[in-house]
Amino acid sequence: MTTRRNFLKKITATSAILPLVSSFNELNAYPKADRQLRVAFCGLGSYARRVADAMKDCPNCVVSGAISGTPAKLEEWSKKYNFPKTNCYSYETFDDLKNNPDIDVVYVTSTNALHHPHTLKAAKAGKHVICEKPMSVTVKEAEEMIAACKAANVKLFIGYRLHFEPFTRELIRMRTSGELGKILFVNATMGFKIGDPTQWRLEKVHAGGGAMMDVGIYAINGARYATGEDPIWVIAQEQKTDLVKFKEVDETITWQMGFPSGIVANCATTYNFNNFDRLYVGGEKDSFELSPAFGYGPLKARTNKGEVNQPVVTHQTVQMTGMADCILNNTPHPNCDGEEGLKDMKIIEAIYKSIAKNGKKVMIKY
Q: Which active-site residues does the annotation give?
A: 133, 218
Mapping DSSP onto H, E and C, the string for 180-237 reads CCCEEEEEEEEECCCCCCCCHHHCHHHHCCCHHHHHHHHHHHHHHHHHCCCCCEEEEE
Q: What is the dihedral of CA 312, 314, 318, 321, to 10 degrees?
A: -150
What SS3 class is residue 148? helix
- C-alpha R_g of the chain: 20
Residues contacting residue 17 through CB under 8 Å, at least 6 positions apart: none
Residues contacting residue 51 through CB under 8 Å, at least 6 positions apart: 41, 107, 109, 316, 319, 320
Positive/negative CA dihedral, 322, 335, 189, 187: negative
CA distance 223 to 297: 19
Type of residue numbered 224:
R
